[in-house]
Structure 1
Amino acid sequence: MTKTVCIIGAGPSGLVAAKTLLHDVAPATFKVTIYDAQPRIGGLWPLTKDDAAGLVHPLMVANQSKHTVQFSDLAWDDNVPQMPKAWQVGQYLKCYAERYGGADVRLGHKVVRTELQQDGAWKVETESEEGPQSHTYDHLLVTTGFFGKPIWPDYLSKEAEVPILHSSKYRDLKGLLAKGNQKGHKILVVGGQMSGIEIAGTIATHLSSAVHGPGEKPFENPEKYSIQHIAQRPSWVFPLFTSAKPAAAAPPFLPCDLPSYNLANRPRPLTNSSGHISVDSAKTFNSIFQSVLGTDQGEFSPNVKIGDDLREQQPFLAMSSHYADFVRSGLISVSQGKVSSLSGNTAALSPSDEKIEDIAAVVLATGFDPCPSLDFLPSEVLETISYAPSHPSLPAALAFHGTHHPSLSTLGFVGFYRSPYWGVMEMQARFIARLWATPEPSQAWKEALECDNSIQNVMNLRPDPRLAQFPMGDYAFLMQEFAKALEMKISTPKETPPLANGKSMDILTPARYVSEGAAQSQIAEVEKNLACTHETALGGLTKARFVAQAVFRSLLGEWKLERDLVSKLPSHPSGRFVGTAKFLLRQGTADGRNAAEQDDLGMEYLYIEDGDFMASNGMKFRATRRYVWRYDGTRDVLSVWFAKTDDNMRADYLFHDIEFIVPDAADEAAQTKGWQAKASHLCIEDLYNVKYEFKFQAVNLKEWRIGYSVNGPKKDYTISGVYRR
């Protein structure tokens, strides 16, 4: 007999749940209806570049790669970058829904009330343009996600005289400042965890682009603004690409989640590393994070340093490509504390009594209240699941890692927790399908449920002062536990070159777990996903892939520059230049590019050097020059362009592409050097041969050198320059 299922929510959780119920169990076992209040599928994820109505900016870059932001049996398009943008994630979901259809999807239908019937069925009431409706289903599956509504702090009052916006609604600076009095010059960002650092970095990027971009400014006097970031305590700030060998002289780079989810680094069976964080665990995690970053972050600012006083505390983690270097540059200033009041254009902090004046606008990165995601459930059900609005990180106590409650056999949950990694969502959906479809559970299934302590664990963690930033954040452990209950085997990893520990990488992705009875078309998608991850790992470990991206990211800000010029011709004197070089980040420009390169211009730097040249003949004069540095994510190429002489904010034509050289594994001397690179450029009759060396400390560029040899009919000289922070 076919069972009817109502799924509330058409985001990733709802779509994978529907697909699993309809395609991964016996045909006609379930009939699925999906309701979503939005007029489109995707949940948080927008479907187009101009879809600005949701909670995620369509151009926001995901902080996990397409190897983690995936379902096992749908491969990403090869042309999508490693870190997809939000609208590209939406397109992936659209493709997934089309590939694995069969559900009755009712968009623009908001579920306003549900009632649990005597026989376990659910009466579901909805509202839409068609008017109120009521239907009854055998099962109810909640996939509404954790982001119910933005949290607005109590200190906000009518006395504030500046625009106030939640970070989920920020789109651009012009929109943020449009309603302001234009008198202040500080953009206040409140909130020090993941979203606070991400939005501060985003706003800084927009502001830097407005100041240093060519042409008409997007709003008046962008150079007068800066960002004041308020955080109660510092977080570790990871870039989107990290290294599987951070101690290497020339570290290889990979999307950040590939080294993070390398199972070869963890003993089996896995134990849960999240939830309660002991002092010893905190020390271990903080030590690992420092080794990955190669710094305690004090070099950027004392207020973002993870010092000894924090090493025993549970760590906070955030992702941002440019936040730390914007802090170093001074565009972002960080104050530690909590906003206690906001009046006029002044904010007061506690416990320091510091006052932040001259505020132009406020962006709140204060998180989300998940409770509205459950407000359609009846009060007796909320009581059963120990619903607690006062604990927004753990609002419901659910069994087997957030999937159900033993007293409510026809109610299920998928993706209802912070950090709902896509693989875990898929596993939760498989668990619910097995729970509702299998009349005779296996021995492994029985043992898994008998040993489960998830509900008690939630109740214990709620008052725990050492609660992890993400209480269900151990992705690998959760995947293991679901696989054990479902009797699923993880596939054998493909070989990669050994790391420092002598082991090959064993990268966890959703595609490592294949649904029982998967069709050949599904298995083909699984194989594509696995091949893509393996190719990415090999590219990073053996072919210098992503090094250009790592160098580009780490150039931001000001460098001390010393350069020596040695000329063999008396007509061109030798000499020494001492000064500074600034890499000023901005939105990519179309100047000098062909039409095919203008679809996604990415980011670029305006390079400005300024200083004094002392010639060997005793002459001294001021010297300055400009270039434009660009990173092409499609080709993974870093390039240098001449600036126009009549408009030195704009790129003119290509100087050279930088080609990174893979160190020879058999050359011991090569293993002690930083990343070597080369380039060449023929300027009329003069040939420029260029050599680079980039020295990293883990993910951060600490020093780099450039050497030119220039030969032509009237030129014969060499230049060697060194850049230091």
Structure 2
Amino acid sequence: MPKTVCIVGAGPSGLVAAKSLLHDAPKGTFDVTVFDSQTRIGGLWPSQKTDNDGLVHPLMVANQSKHTVQFSDLAWEDDAPELPRAWQVGRYLELYHQTYCQEAKLILGTRVEKTETTEAGWQVHTKSPDGTTREESFDYLLIASGFFGRPVVPESIPKNPEVPVVHSSQYRNLKGLLGEGERQGSKILVVGGQMSGVEIAGTIATHLSAAVHAPGTSLIPNVDKYTVHHIVQKPVWVMPLFLSPKPSSAAPPFLPLDIGSYNLATRSYPLTNNQGHISTEAAKHFSTIYECTLGTNQAVYSPCLTVTSEDASNPQFLAVSDNYMEFVRSGLITLSRGKLDTISGKEATVSPSNEKVDDIAAVVLATGFEASISIDFLPPSVKQELALHPDDLSNTVALGFHNTYHPAVPNLGFVGFYRSPYWGVMEMQARFLTNLWSSGGPESPSLSPSMKEALANDTSIQKTLSLRTDPRASQFPMGDYVWLMQEFAAALDLTLLDPPENMRQLKMDTLTPARYPSKHLSEPRQAQVDKSLRQTEATIWAAMTSDKFAAKAVFRSLLGEWKLERELISKLPSHPSGHFSGTAKFLLRAGTREGRESEFDRFAAEDGDPVTEYLYIEEGDFKATNGFSFRATRRYVWRYNERKDELSVWFVKTDDQKRADYLFHRVEFAVPDRDYEGERECRDSWRATAGHLCIDDFYDVNYRFNFQAVNLRGWRLAYTVKGPQKDYTIDGVYTR
């Protein structure tokens, strides 16, 4: 007779737990029931573009690529973006459920209210929205209710604030935050300086920039008066979504940040845990790596974000945002270093400096979540065994073998109950519990030697308890991804698949969930593993040997203001030579439809988001060699097409210079000559060309983009223009 399992939560961790119980144990071993209080599956991840009721905006771009945000035996569609949006992740989970979890009994819109331990297992009390209560008995209880239980609101926030206060998970747009009418105050205060604080500050600044620079009239009155003020306790390294595995190159290749981060070719074996307690030496080592990755200690952006030698001696924190740093440089985001002390009216006080932040229009809290509410239904005696600590957001409970179970409660399991985005670890946790329970539990003689050894040597509980009071605990103390995958694989006797030979040549050995497939795969599951591996290999190969993602990296790095010096040399006396000196601004806004109506409509309909573009404005003084001088300005619209990985420049309309008119040119990148064996490169920059025929005049365009790690340190744009009435060259140099 099968053992019954109650799974609480139908998000990614609950679904992968159900799949593992149903497919990684002999058929009929387990009878699985999944409860979720929501009326849909997916947990945090919505599956509809219009689903704004959850904790994640449906159009949010994941900060890990599709190669990491997946399970081993279900590949993404080939045309899925490298960095999927939240609703696309929700669709992936729907397909995963349809493919592997149909045999599980799924009960949605039903909350687990209380559980009780019995001699046989668990008594589970549930309640549906209409108030109907039920009691059912199960042999095992598996908690997959997630770490993100309830938003934390600091005590410093008044009970009846004078300005709108929302949690970062509730923010959707400026209108929802500020309302439609005129609002007093000019600063949107963001509280919280870690991952979600940086992300939401960058998002709000993006929305402000888009509202100010969009064509037409803004829905937000006087939107140009608003700025973001961000309170950060310590410097945090802010990584863009695409990094380079060769940051010292002048023409670096680019890949989604997780592909390089999980490159086993840069690690020594056996892998050791680089998280948990961080020594001074380890902190300095990480600081060196991050500074090399970014090409800066961040001093060029703000003193508050500068990682000094003293900062580098302490545990390092990371955040991810494409736009945050340039908005800080431009002043759209201003910073205070410290901690929010009080808010009174429209003024906040920052400690310990006692700095005052006045003229506040709204407050957004990026202060994390209380995880303990996700396990409120457990009996007090069990919470005591788990050493529940509601105020410790990183180590809420102390669990054995990397947050999966507790030896005192062997019929209770956890999947995904930790601060980490790594789906591969969720899958490993699910496999571990499946193996443990199908073998009869931690004391069973049926356990494999590798499982017995793993349990005998496990110190996870002790480490969790010690890290609670450790001032040098890492940002994600459970353990680093590749080491955790190794630990689970050793316990489960799973083999890491070797990388293909062409990946070895590139010194790329990226760990993805598909590299650790289950032992006994059906043909359809094996086909999905193979497809996933091919997708990752293709992405890496294209990025390392072609111009793939170069346009993306250039487009991101253009944001903000540049100093522009341009020489014009004319061979015709009718067009004087001269020098232009001024500024060029790339102003971020939502993508517009003009000039590309059919493509825009299709992209918006299929993906739900027209992404972003720049309104380019240059202003300065032109001094001709004949002594004549005048004020000069010009405008373009720069666009990046994610599906085509294509950068293009468009003329603006003469009667509305915020609107694109027609295509000027597409930027064609030239692939640098690389000799991977000798680590030698024959180009000193990314180069690109373009051409444009304007009636009888041909514009021959040449670009040179000079990178310092992930950021442009400068670039050149040169034109040679020839025609019946024109014969001149323009050479412009852009520097920060």
- TM-score with structure 2 length normalisation? 0.96
Are 1:719 and 2:720 matched, yes or no?
Answer: no
CA contact (8 A) 2:565 2:579 kept: yes
Distance (whole Å) between structure 1 residues aligned to residue 680 and residue 467 of structure 2: 52
Are 1:689 and 2:700 matched, yes or no?
Answer: yes
Distance (whole Å) between structure 2 residues aligned to residue 166 and residue 696 of structure 1: 37
SS at match of 1:431: helix
Q: Mapping of 1:474-493 within 5 angstroms?
A: 474-493=480-499
Distance (whole Å) between structure 1 residues aligned to residue 485 and residue 170 of structure 2: 33
Are 1:53 and 2:36 matched, yes or no?
Answer: no
SS at match of 1:98: helix
1:153-207 per-residue CA deviation (whole Å, 9 max, x = no partner) reads 0011146310000000000001100188711000000000000000000000000
Are 1:656 and 2:665 matched, yes or no?
Answer: yes
1:377-412 per-residue CA deviation (whole Å, 9 max, x = no partner) reads 000111111111132210111110000011212110
Greater mean deviation of Cα atoms: 714-723 or 127-136: 127-136
2:548 maps to 545
CA contact (8 A) 2:68 2:422 kept: yes
Name the amino acid aligned to 1:54: G
Distance (whole Å) between structure 1 residues aligned to residue 386 and residue 311 of structure 2: 35
1:370 maps to 371
Distance (whole Å) between structure 1 residues aligned to residue 181 and residue 215 of structure 2: 25
Are 1:145 and 2:151 matched, yes or no?
Answer: no
Are 1:459 and 2:465 matched, yes or no?
Answer: yes
2:613 maps to 604
CA contact (8 A) 2:123 2:135 kept: no
Unaligned residue ranges in structure 2 (runs of 5+): 441-445, 605-609
Assess, with a 3 A threshold, how the Cα gap between structure 1 residues 496 and 192 changes in structure 2: closer, same or farther.
Answer: farther
**Deviation for aligned residue 1:669:** 9.8
Number of corresponding residues: 722
Distance (whole Å) between structure 2 residues aligned to residue 409 and residue 423 of structure 1: 23
Assess, with a 3 A threshold, how the Cα gap between structure 1 residues 376 and 179 changes in structure 2: closer, same or farther.
Answer: farther
Are 1:530 and 2:533 matched, yes or no?
Answer: yes
CA contact (8 A) 1:275 1:461 kept: yes
Q: Mapping of 1:414-425 within 5 angstroms?
A: 414-425=415-426
2:519 maps to 516
Distance (whole Å) between structure 1 residues aligned to residue 144 and residue 159 of structure 2: 36
1:187 maps to 188
1:81 maps to 81
CA contact (8 A) 1:49 1:59 kept: yes
Are 1:613 and 2:616 matched, yes or no?
Answer: no
SS at match of 2:393: coil
2:124 maps to 123
Q: Mapping of 1:698-709 within 5 angstroms?
A: 698-709=709-720
Distance (whole Å) between structure 2 residues aligned to residue 264 and residue 171 of structure 1: 40
CA contact (8 A) 2:182 2:221 kept: no
Distance (whole Å) between structure 2 residues aligned to residue 420 and residue 29 of structure 1: 30
1:626 maps to 635
**Deviation for aligned residue 1:420:** 4.0
CA contact (8 A) 2:125 2:133 kept: no
Greater mean deviation of Cα atoms: 677-686 or 113-122: 113-122
Name the amino acid aligned to 2:353: S
Distance (whole Å) between structure 1 residues aligned to residue 344 and residue 251 of structure 2: 51
Over the matched positions of the two proteins, sequence identity in percent amounts to 57
Name the amino acid aligned to 1:521: P
**Deviation for aligned residue 1:79:** 2.0
1:586 maps to 589
CA contact (8 A) 1:71 1:422 kept: yes
Name the amino acid aligned to 1:395: T
Distance (whole Å) between structure 1 residues aligned to residue 30 and residue 276 of structure 2: 35
Distance (whole Å) between structure 2 residues aligned to residue 614 and residue 229 of structure 1: 42
Name the amino acid aligned to 2:480: D
1:227 maps to 228
1:615-660 per-residue CA deviation (whole Å, 9 max, x = no partner) reads 1111101110000000000000010000111100000011111011
SS at match of 2:501: coil
Distance (whole Å) between structure 1 residues aligned to residue 395 and residue 322 of structure 2: 29
CA contact (8 A) 2:181 2:220 kept: no
SS at match of 2:288: helix
Assess, with a 3 A threshold, how the Cα gap between structure 1 residues 122 and 271 changes in structure 2: closer, same or farther.
Answer: farther
Greater mean deviation of Cα atoms: 164-173 or 488-497: 488-497
CA contact (8 A) 1:120 1:409 kept: no
CA contact (8 A) 1:495 1:505 kept: no
Q: Mapping of 1:345-356 within 5 angstroms?
A: 345-356=346-357
**Deviation for aligned residue 1:123:** 3.3
CA contact (8 A) 2:271 2:483 kept: yes
Distance (whole Å) between structure 2 residues aligned to residue 370 and residue 4 of structure 1: 26
1:341 maps to 342
1:637 maps to 646
Q: Mapping of 1:84-99 within 5 angstroms?
A: 84-99=84-99
Distance (whole Å) between structure 2 residues aligned to residue 7 and residue 160 of structure 1: 39
- TM-score with structure 1 length normalisation? 0.98
Distance (whole Å) between structure 2 residues aligned to residue 618 and residue 707 of structure 1: 24
Unaligned residue ranges in structure 1 (runs of 5+): none
Distance (whole Å) between structure 1 residues aligned to residue 503 and residue 262 of structure 2: 17
